[in-house]
Homo-oligomer: A and B are copies of this chain.
Amino acid sequence: MYMTQPLHRMMREAPDAIAAIDGLDALSWQQLRDRVARNAGALRAKGLEPGEPVAILAHNSVDYLAWILAIWWAGGVINPVNLRWAASEIAYSLDNCGTRILIVDDKHRGMVPAIRESTSDLRRVVSTGAAGDTIESQAEWAQGIEPVEDALRKGDDHAAILYTGGTTGFPKGVMLSHGNLAASVLGALSLNNQRVTDRYLHCAPMFHIGSLSGIFLTLFSGRCSAFLPAFEPVAMLEAINSWEITEFFVVPTMLKMLVQHPRFAEFDVSGIRHIRYGASPIDGALLDHAIELFPNAHFSQAYGMTELSPVVTILGPEDHRGESRTDLRLRSAGKATATYEVRIVDAEDNEVPRGEVGEIVARGPGVMLGYWKQPEATAEALRGGWMHTGDMGRMDEDGYVTVVDRLKDMIVTGGENVYSAEVENALAAHPAIAACAVIAAPDEEWGERVHAVIVPRAGEAPSPESITAHCRTLIAGYKLPRSFDFVDALPLTAAGKVDKNALRKTLKG
């Protein structure tokens, strides 16, 4: 399998259909293919070596998509840069894999001098907008350039390097092959009922594999990709309305912001047929609200991680409605896709009995090639041929997997394991708590103690005592929070999850 395949295939099925759209651009498959072949020609003319990584630092756009495909077409490897990172972190990830070429948009070109200062390998920076000091423009690059033929890298050939885990020590570059990415796409396609007229809106940042996989899914089903630079509720509602969007991916937090937006009723969202979400389960009340406001939509949840290209389980539409819907299922992440096997194992990698908590491990063609230049971390993660996710979970009798906690978010207090998610669920049921996060705090007596960070509802000020009394009715005594912080908002990662590492730093500082 090769990730440029849809460009070839769609030239025969629908060259004039719109392949990609954003606020500035709308390209047919033919135009997208032509731009890709020309961009690839420019990369080759500048000396790109086969298998060489090229970085992209930009908001979502048609240009971003065209560069991803052009890097593959030219024979390179994509290195999509995390937009939340500081210049020094970006420089580390570029140098780590010897990135010599960086594509940048107008929004992010201001970071270029700082990045340049900290890198030794970076040679060329190409702007999707105007040229500038030490920055070439893609328009200049395209001058006199002939389109080239597709390098047709495929199968086990390296396709992407995606840096993850930057919040825990140094980032690791996850290497994914063309075959890895294609396996993920096809596994997801097997549960998808697509139409030629469907349009998928991509609003989560494109350096994140959750967004990338949505884009690949759209490409391989020959549908139109629509891009918003970033998530913003009104821009999203406007796009759905005016671009005739039929599908999008969000995290539940974003979905909540959408359905609770005071201007929601101004827009026609009746064309939405499928809402995909991930990063966390959805609660029943939010789902009910969303079903009411998106009456024609199916809902599905995907669970995965970069190292798995990423989707490994899906909670399908049938589990979101009718008889199959139960609160227990809704709290799960669904079942393995057609391309994966999933197991729950103990610390010795033995499968645990059904219903017991253990580490979630997965095996299949989407498992990464490895971590860039980290053979020991790779061997550790892939021991026994299974990717060890670091997520704790349980599996029910029908194969549904429920993610209980991140392994590293587990709190070991007085020798007992406490899963932060369980404490958070108890806290979230308190009427005066709007949001919360539970982390381990160092504790002289207990090794670690359960620490809760609380965002009260507007106008409320719950006391630690009332919270403890409430939790005591729901969870065991050793799981109760022993200390509290009250804050206005929780820090979020780029993927929209609560940033527990940031909270831990606050705790130490």
Contacts and interface: CB of A to CB of B under 8 A. Distances in A.
A340 B222 CA distance: 12
12 contacts: A1-B183, A1-B339, A5-B339, A8-B341, A8-B363, A12-B336, A13-B335, A13-B398, A179-B365, A190-B192, A190-B220, A220-B338
A476 to B, nearest CB: 29
Interface in A144-181: 152, 154-156, 179
A12 B186 contact: no
A186 B9 contact: no
Contacts of A506: none
A364 interface: yes
Interface residues on A, range: 35 or more
Contact of A399 (B12, B183, B189, B399): B12
B13 A399 contact: yes
A176 to B, nearest CB: 15
A343 interface: yes
A193 interface: yes
Nearest to A16: B397
A259 interface: no
Given A1-B183, A399-B14, A9 B336 contact: yes
Contacts of A385: 152
B399 A340 contact: no
Contacts of A182: 365
Copies of this protein chain in the complex: 2
Interface string A393-419: 001001100000000000000000000
A128 interface: no
A117 B8 CA distance: 51
Nearest to A219: B338
A193 B279 CA distance: 26
A221 interface: yes
Given A5-B339, A186-B189, A193-B193, 6 more contacts: A1-B364, A1-B365, A155-B179, A183-B186, A185-B338, A189-B338
A455 interface: no
Contacts of A338: 185-186, 189, 220-221
A398 B14 contact: yes
Contacts of A12: 336, 341-343, 395, 399
A187 interface: yes
Nearest to A399: B13
Nearest to A221: B338
A280 to B, nearest CB: 23
Most buried by B among A156, A186, A363: A186
